[in-house]
Amino acid sequence: MHILPTKKTMMLHRDISWLAFNYRVLQEAKDENVPLLERVKFMGIYSSNLDEFFRVRIASLKKLLHLSAKTQKQMDFDPALALYNIGELVKKQQIEFSEIYSKQILPALSKEGIQVVRLHELTQNQYMELNTYVEEVLIQYIQPILMVKNKIRTFLRNNNLYLVAILETTGQSLRYALVRIPTDNLPRFIELVSDEKDTKTIILLDDIVRHALPSLFHGYTVRDSFSVKMTRDAELHIDDEYKGNLVDKIKRSLAKRNIGTGTRFVFDRKMPLNCKDFLMDNFHFDAADMYPEGRYHNNFDFFKFPSFGKTNLKDRPLPPLPHPVLSQSKDLFKTIAEEDQLLHFPYQRYEHVLQFLEAAAIDPEVKSIKITQYRVAKDSQVILALRRALSMGKEVVVFIEVKARFDEEANISWAEKLEAWGATVLYSIPKIKVHAKLALVSRRENNKTRSYAYLSTGNFNENTATLYTDYGFFTADERICKDVHTIFNFLETAKPNAPHPKGKNLLIGKYLPAKLDKMIENEISNARAGLEAKIFIKVNSLQDQQIIQKLYTASQSGVKIKIIVRGICCLMPKVKGLSDNIEAISVIDRFLEHSRIYCFHNAGDTQVYLSSADLMTRNLHHRIEAAFPVYNPKLKAEILYFLNVQWQDNCKARVIDATLSNQYQPKTKKDTDRRSQIEMYDYYKQKLK
């Protein structure tokens, strides 16, 4: 079923690899060692991931089908075959998803006093409660629509839930009707009064709408009902980024996002064939667009599943810890000037970043703050610190990437507010995204201007910093600060097709892959000379063909390569004659692994880079990214310690192989459990003593 790598590239198809990653998320949902309500959450994560996959990746693949046969033959894969194999894998995973929910999650919840019931399981009192809810709450939000072939066909909103009701009357053929389930107005999970002590009873809104169907269709008998939903293309199709106002074009495109072309029609797999055929004909679906699931869809709503205060069914709290140095500092600028400082989220507090920006805002010696913004928090304390700086008369320059997918609207809104407050706001550059995470503070010290930089592997977002593992780095090192200045100079003056900024110490933009290639080549030369040669990489995704081919060459030259990759991995580890010296694992746990790290042994003088960039073609060739060196030996050692802890994880690490088996890292009965995220938290906690 898997799409085999071509002889030309010997790489796995990226979307098949991504589905293997999402299956690792599903593995967390069925792992009985994971607290029960966290397993429910992982079901929501799996479903949310899959929805985005269909909105973005499947939409892109479908466009390839419209290319000429000649062009398709020149590609490394057959898009039709890719779509077929993806469909088969998704359907297989969805069957397992349904089994996990019905045979594992629901019985386990019941044992814990949480019953998720269906209509036939309700008591008389609960039926009366349901009738009251329908009459007083639900009825105002639902509107039935009778469907008539080729005459009455409603528009299916993106990722909205619907019930298709099968209706009959005496002497007439079956009729079909549609009712939208109003999850945007009402909770998905409704608690009912329970007749049993210490038991919580929940019913899904879907089933309450089912209960209401007979009262909506007078004169008909409701034979049955089945849930459906449509997923639509999420791409913003901007005809020409070079002409006109890009922000206005994005605003207009946002209004059309949820009416894009359908990429997937999800239906209850128990739906009878005649009903399915009617829907296919009525909505003009192809059979390839039809994806059977269980009774309920939009399972990302499991994020909102009520916990009823049962903390024993959730992960033990790991509150972010203070940084041992920054938390004691009375003068952050002096502390950073004396020595580079490294933060590791979410183990350590993001508040230290906010304190740095606040200190810059109120310090009379600070003249300017420059910062990039990619995904901004809803109630952003970062933005509020910039507003404070503006009120104190500072120059504030903010580059906002308005093309950050699914964050375009929020980013535009913040940009307009910043402009109204007096900031200089720089917007997206045509045809490239700015993905580097940078802040630069200019401060007068001893009649000279001194720069302080903050660089990160993750966004300036205090909300995701509690969930994503990322590094934040403070420095006053002129070698790094000068390159950060270079990037901001580029952003302030950039024109379409302008050459990317070139740093002396940072790896920036289109110069990043060439410098990575050079460092890999150095390891190859050392291996061939009989010296120890090693590469250790941690990324979210590894897909770029040039980098992968170079790593294959390095492996064949004797370089020992370790890779920790959370998601896509098109490279095939441990293939005889190709990648014998490459090993790869993936860690999926309570925090989302997001940091990017490149390490090169360099004949004993280890080079360590933290980066905003994954090893994807889009990152390396179509974005402004920044990989920054860590010079401080103590901080280098801390990063290498973290990588080694993750590599030894035998609880949450899966082995990445050419068959995408997702086997857990092997361990013997004598091995002690090594769970890297918990181990790292305890490591930072110990440092505070």
**Residues tagged active-site:** 435
- What is the three-state SS of 186-243? CCCEEEECCCCCCCEEEEEHHHHHHHHHHHHCCCCEEEEEEEEEEEECCCCCCCCCCC
- The confidence score (pLDDT) of residue 2 equals 46
Measuring CA to CA, how many Å separate 669 from each of 468, 558, 575, 672?
A: 31, 32, 28, 8
Query: Mean pLDDT throughout 131-138?
Result: 95
For the chain, the domains span 14-305, 326-493, 507-687
Domain pair 14-305 / 507-687, same fold: no
Query: pLDDT tens, 262-297?
Result: 889 999 999 999 999 999 988 888 888 899 999 999
Q: How confident is the model at residue 303 (pLDDT cuts 50, 70, 90)?
A: very high
Query: pLDDT tens, 373-394?
Result: 999 888 899 999 999 999 999 9
- The confidence score (pLDDT) of residue 252 equals 64
Report the share of the chain in percent with pLDDT over 70.
Answer: 94
- The confidence score (pLDDT) of residue 149 equals 77
Q: How confident is the model at residue 218 (pLDDT cuts 50, 70, 90)?
A: confident
Tokens 């994005």 correspond to: 250
**Ramachandran assignment for 113, one of left (phi > 0), alpha (psi -120 to 50 degrees), beta (any other):** left
Q: How confident is the model at residue 247 (pLDDT cuts 50, 70, 90)?
A: low
Q: Is the pLDDT of residue 40 over 50?
A: yes
- Report, in angstroms and rounded to the nearest whole number, the Rg of the chain calculated over CA atoms: 27
Measuring CA to CA, how many Å separate 452 from each of 34, 333, 340, 429?
A: 42, 8, 10, 25
Query: Mean pLDDT throughout 539-545?
Result: 97
Q: Is the pLDDT of residue 550 over 50?
A: yes
Q: Is the pLDDT of residue 4 over 60?
A: no
Q: Is the pLDDT of residue 586 over 60?
A: yes
Q: Is 392 helix (H, G, I), strand (E, B) or coil?
A: coil
- The confidence score (pLDDT) of residue 142 equals 94
Q: Is the pLDDT of residue 658 over 80?
A: yes
Query: Mean pLDDT throughout 630-658?
Result: 97
Cα angle, residue 71 at apex, residues 70 and 74 outer, rounded to 5°: 95
Measuring CA to CA, how many Å separate 14 from each of 5, 57, 524, 570?
A: 10, 10, 27, 6
Q: Is the pLDDT of residue 529 over 70?
A: yes
More confident: 78 or 128: 128
In degrees and rounded to multiples of 5, residue 84 shows phi and psi of -65, -50
CATH 3.40.720.10 fits 14-305, yes or no: no
Q: Is the pLDDT of residue 425 over 60?
A: yes
- The confidence score (pLDDT) of residue 258 equals 63
- For domain 326-493, give the fold: Endonuclease; Chain A (3.30.870)
Q: Is 499 helix (H, G, I), strand (E, B) or coil?
A: coil
Q: Is the pLDDT of residue 5 over 70?
A: no
Burial of 303 (0-12, 13-18, 19+ CB in 10 A): middle
Query: pLDDT tens, 318-361?
Result: 999 999 999 999 999 999 999 999 999 999 999 999 999 999 99
Average pLDDT, the chain: 92
CATH number among 2.60.40.3080, 3.40.50.300, 3.30.870.10, 3.30.420.40, domain 507-687: 3.30.870.10
Query: pLDDT tens, 465-495?
Result: 999 999 999 999 999 999 999 999 999 997 7
- The confidence score (pLDDT) of residue 259 equals 65
pTM of the full structure: 0.93
Query: Mean pLDDT throughout 28-55?
Result: 95
- The confidence score (pLDDT) of residue 236 equals 57
In degrees and rounded to multiples of 5, residue 214 shows phi and psi of -60, -35
The identity of residue 41, as a single letter, is K
Six-digit token pair at 571? Answer: 């490279």
In degrees and rounded to multiples of 5, residue 455 shows phi and psi of -125, 145
**Of the candidates 246, 679, 229, the residue with the CA atom closest to the CA atom of residue 434:** 246
- The confidence score (pLDDT) of residue 14 equals 93
Among 215-224, 402-411, 518-527, the minimum mean pLDDT is found in 402-411
Report the share of the chain in percent with pLDDT over 90.
Answer: 77
